[in-house]
Amino acid sequence: MPTEPPAVAPRDRQQSARGDIVAALAGALLVAVAIVVPFLASDEYQRSLFAKVAPLFGDWLPHYGPGSALAMIVAAVVIWQGPSFAARARFGFLLAASWAAAAAWMISLALIDGWERGVVNRLTDPHEYLHEVPGIDSISGLVSGFTARILDGQPDSWTTHVSGHPVGAILSYVVLDRVGLGGGAWAGMLSLLAGSSAIVAILVTLRALGSEAGARAAAPFLVLAPAAIWVVASADGYFMGVAAWGIALLALATNRRGRGAWALAFPAGLLLGFGVYLNYGLVLMGVLAVAVLLAARTARPLLPALAGALLVAGLFTWAGFWWFEGLHLVVDRYYQGIASIRPISYWGWANYAATVCVIGLASVAALPRALRLSRLRSRDAVSVMVAAGILAILLAGISALSKAETERIWLPFTIWICTAPALLPMQHHRRWLIVQAVIALAINHLVLTRW
């Protein structure tokens, strides 16, 4: 069971609570500035952003749908019962309940846009993966000939999202189609199931790293994270799930020796290695993997995890896809499109305003607590994983290969930052959960997200 936090003097507690609010207001200010700046700029500058509701990617469209009432019910139940249930439930039952609640929250948010517009049509768009699936006759031919079609301007150039990712992404949807689960509905369900399971993976990770109390406190915040808006709506929800389970297995392996460690670390490497073949940016999951080893104070799982990752790389290379060639061509393709026009002077910082929308103000409020040197020096699991998530998105931003749309692209990293509110005072958890729910519901009802 979670241990009780040390007693805090009333004055210190009041000052800490005031600091939480100041941090949240700073995050809100960043978002406000990111919204206002385009309106103060020239029409040409606004058009160059290619984002009508910058810093988010979508259209202003106040609307409601069949998921509106369901989302409000899910939010109310989690706010009302979540903190107390998470504190007292058996851990296995907490994992199952968190998965179910997260899935309900994610699908209800998607259904605010309607079944067709919010789920079925998301990955069937001409720029998306499923648009290419009918034209793929051979899996071996897909892998070996993938890089030849990355660059734009060719008669058979891959569509935007297919060309922008390694071959593993489109391969996943081809396999899904081959086993009889083709179409947008099944693709959306893959993102839903994998993405919602990431919440379970994170809780497992925190407990394996010695912070069951942190996992319990984080559970309701992970369930109601505004990040849920973009899980069913994109393939990045699927990528997030794969990466999160790779990290969870690695964390579990830190508590084992010998064959037990290999039995967990090797599949962790397989998942993390496969993640790199889903999304080039998931190489930055290495930051979170290192964070796990630092928090656990052991490097025992490193060798079997590397073996698993190298096996995946070897198989793809043997099949004809050279990852580094793909990355080189993707950079060229990226700047063949609107990325060459989108100004880094805006997106270089506005990406992080979008991140605030994804993690919510409760997470921002908790960042000063999570990043305290005393917590990091003690290798507190929540603090270390939050810091790793932040470092990953900072490195992603430096690459200049994510100008806009980071609300979905960075999901595998930002979801870990959503554990930060676990460090907020327990007596304030319900009010911060209300803040998280209001942010998610407001964005989903006011903005029609699109890719």
CA pair distance 5, 354, nearest whole angstrom: 32
Predicted local distance difference test score (pLDDT) of residue 72: 99
Mean pLDDT of 271-287: 99
Predicted local distance difference test score (pLDDT) of residue 400: 86
Q: What integer best gives the mean pLDDT of the chain?
A: 95
CA pair distance 245, 204, nearest whole angstrom: 9
pLDDT at 313 over 70: yes
pTM: 0.95
Chain segment 87-130, per-residue pLDDT in tens? 999 999 999 999 999 999 999 999 999 999 999 999 999 999 99
The neighbour count for residue 430, using CB atoms within 10 Å, is 15
pLDDT at 5 over 50: no
Q: What residues does 59 pair with on adjacent strands?
A: 448
CA pair distance 395, 281, nearest whole angstrom: 10
Chain segment 165-201, per-residue pLDDT in tens? 999 999 999 999 999 999 999 999 999 999 999 999 9
Half-sphere exposure of 108 (CA within 13 A, CB side): 20
The neighbour count for residue 232, using CB atoms within 10 Å, is 29
pLDDT at 7 over 70: no
8 A C-beta contact, residue 251 and residue 209: yes
Chain segment 22-46, per-residue pLDDT in tens? 999 999 999 999 999 999 999 999 9
**DSSP structural state of residue 158:** P
Smallest CA-to-CA distance from 361 within 61, 26, 88 is with: 26
- Cα dist from 69 to 108, 257, 440, whole Å: 8, 49, 14
Domain ranges of the chain: 12-449
**DSSP structural state of residue 342:** S
Predicted local distance difference test score (pLDDT) of residue 14: 56
At 17, is the pLDDT very low, low, confident or very high (cuts 50, 70, 90)? confident
